Structure 1
Amino acid sequence: MKTETKYPLKINGSMTVPGGAFTEVHVNGFGRITNDFSCETYHVNGQSNVSGNIKAETVTINGKADVQGNLDVSNLKVNGKASVTGSIHAGDVEVYGHLHVEGNAASKDFISKGKTTIEGNCEADDFTSKGVIHISKMLNADSIEIKLNADSYIKEMGGEEIDIRRESVSKTLGKILTFLASPKESTLTSELIEGDEIYIEYTNAEIVRGNEVKIGPGCTIGRVEYKEELSVDPSSAIKETIQN
């Protein structure tokens, strides 16, 4: 059986190419790929537009990448700006820039220290956000850790351990962040937060449901449902509590 020969693709200027199978794809200028493609490494330092699905081992976005399709990758790292009109299926995801996903996102470890917007659902083993997060539907993970640097929104979230706090910053970094969003005023808004062990602060939620629930400062909660333990900071407001 004849094996397909794969070649590297390097774009330094402006180029439009069809899809296919490559060993690696490097975009340093402007690259337009007009169909599905697969590769071991996809590296964007310039600007890339893909009209199709991508399957790769490693994807690194330092520039700007638009993917009009799905992204199937073992390791995804976004230092620049990436937009995916389909869904992402990944092993590990790291976001230090801006990631926008119109579909769903599924990964083993999801770390966002920039700005991440997911219009669908997000599923992970471990989910960490230390930037700005917006999930229009459901976040489901074993472990959820959110450090608020700006106002964020997650419609619903479920996990075994959930920890939501405001990020503490140094005075110097705090001055820089005031031009973007002050962590001192950051809140998370959610319709439903459900988990086994929950600690939240500076969170507005309609329902919080869990076994052990700790409500820290600055929360406004419609209803808390708990089984074993509930503690509430005096600065937080809860309309209704139910022990099941």
Structure 2
Amino acid sequence: MTRGQNLTINGSGNYPGGQYDKISIRGDGTINTDVECSAFHIFGTSEALENLKTGSVKVFGEAEVKGNMESEEMLIMGTMAVGGRAALKKMKILGTLDVGENLTGDEANIKGTISVGGDVEYETFESSGGFEIKGLLNADKINISLRFGQSFAEEIGGGMITVKKKSNSFLPFGKETGMLTAKVIEGDIVYLENTKADIVRGKKVKIGTGCQIGTVEYTNELTQDQSSTIKTKTKTNL
């Protein structure tokens, strides 16, 4: 990453883009053009009117990038919005992330919520929060813990897909549990709980508790919990 001078904003104002070392915003700052930096740390409110490329991102306040974004590592405790596409190699979301187009990277760890207007593609995707993905969620390993609320993806594809309900420790007596909804879920090994899907495909498929599935297509093995419904079961040969 190209090194430049630091940019520290404690008050409010508009600043040019370009190449910086570290950007730290504790007030209210707007960056007018493309910006590239080694670290982008937001404790207040920031707005980048075009594209952002950075090594480390930490958002404790509110940040918005109108264009596209690239980062090596990201931690969001507050809220962040990216208008275009986002390439976030290693991200941890404890707050909220909103991406207008596609989201890609290596490792995704979501304890808060994400909303994505396009596809999501990662090597590993772990969520114990909530998500709304209007396209395809694709990862080699997908591990989803449903604690509360509704999570949605148009399609889900991967090698190993695990979806489990998880009791909410903050509401030990509450009846609310999370639910995942997708049109198509396809993987090599698929285990589902609390899931609604039109089609599930896999080599080895296990339908656990609380599921409503239209069609299951499997090549090797299918097991089903008695509390779940599957309308059509089809064993296929590769």
Distance, in Å, in 2 between the alignment partners of 1:140 and 1:193 is: 10
Q: TM-score of the superposition, structure 2-length normalised?
A: 0.95
Find the partner of 1:205 among 197, 208, 211. Answer: 197
Counterpart code for 1:108: D
Does structure 1 retain, via aligned residues, the 8 Å contact 2:3–2:38? no
Deviations, residues 186-224 of structure 1 (Å, cap 9, x unaligned): 211100000000000110000000000000011000000
Superposed CA RMSD: 1.4
What residue number does 1:242 align with? 234
Question: Which digits, 9 at most, give the CA deviation of each residue in 1:66-113, with x for residues without a partner?
Answer: 110111110111110000001111220110000000111001001110
SS of the equivalent of 2:23 reads strand
- Structure 2: which amino acid aligns with 1:234? Q
- Shift of residue 25 of structure 1? 0.3
| Aligned residue in 2 for 1:156 | 155
The 5 Å alignment of 1:97-136 reads: 97-136=95-134
TM-score by length of 1: 0.93
State the match for 1:74 in structure 2: 72
Distance 2:227 2:54 in 1: 49
Q: Which amino acid aligns with 2:133?
A: I
Gaps of 5+ in 2: none
5 and 124 in structure 1: CA distance in 2 versus 1, 3 angstrom threshold:
closer
1:165 paired with 2:164, answer: yes
Task: Extract unaligned runs of 5+ from structure 1.
Answer: none
The letter of the residue matching 1:23 is D
Q: 1:231 to 1:91 in 2, by over 3 A?
A: same
Equivalences for residues 1-244 of structure 1 within 5 A: 6-149=4-147, 150-170=149-169, 173-174=170-171, 184-244=176-236
Give the number of aligned pairs: 234
Confirm or deny: 8 A CA contact 2:167 2:177 kept in the other structure: no
Quote the sequence identity (%).
36
Alpha-carbon distance in structure 2 between the residues aligned to 1:93 and 1:72: 11
SS state at 2:121 partner:
strand
The secondary structure found in structure 2 opposite 1:26 is: strand
Q: Which runs of 4+ in 1 moved over 3 A?
A: none
